[in-house]
Amino acid sequence: MANIITIEPGKRGGKPCIRGTRIMVYDVLEYLASGMSDEEILDNFPYLTQEDIWACVSFS
């Protein structure tokens, strides 16, 4: 899971994001907390992977 979560000072206020996107770890955790399944997240954001979701959960 190395290099999935990145922090870039000029992107999203330096908050942790999924590599190469503007989707923050917080966004994915909010989707999960609101009841979205992994499959629903992946359907809505096809450029994300299951490994990305696991990295967000592990990061928190």
Q: Which domains does the chain show, CATH number per domain?
A: 5-59 (1.10.10.10)
Mean pLDDT of 19-42: 96
Supply the mean pLDDT for the chain: 94
What's this model's pTM, rounded to 2 decimal places? 0.89
Residue 47 tokens, joined: 């450029």
Q: What is the pLDDT of residues 33-49, one digit of tens each?
A: 999 999 999 999 999 99
- pLDDT at position 1 over 60: no
Contact by Cβ (8 Å): 17, 28: no
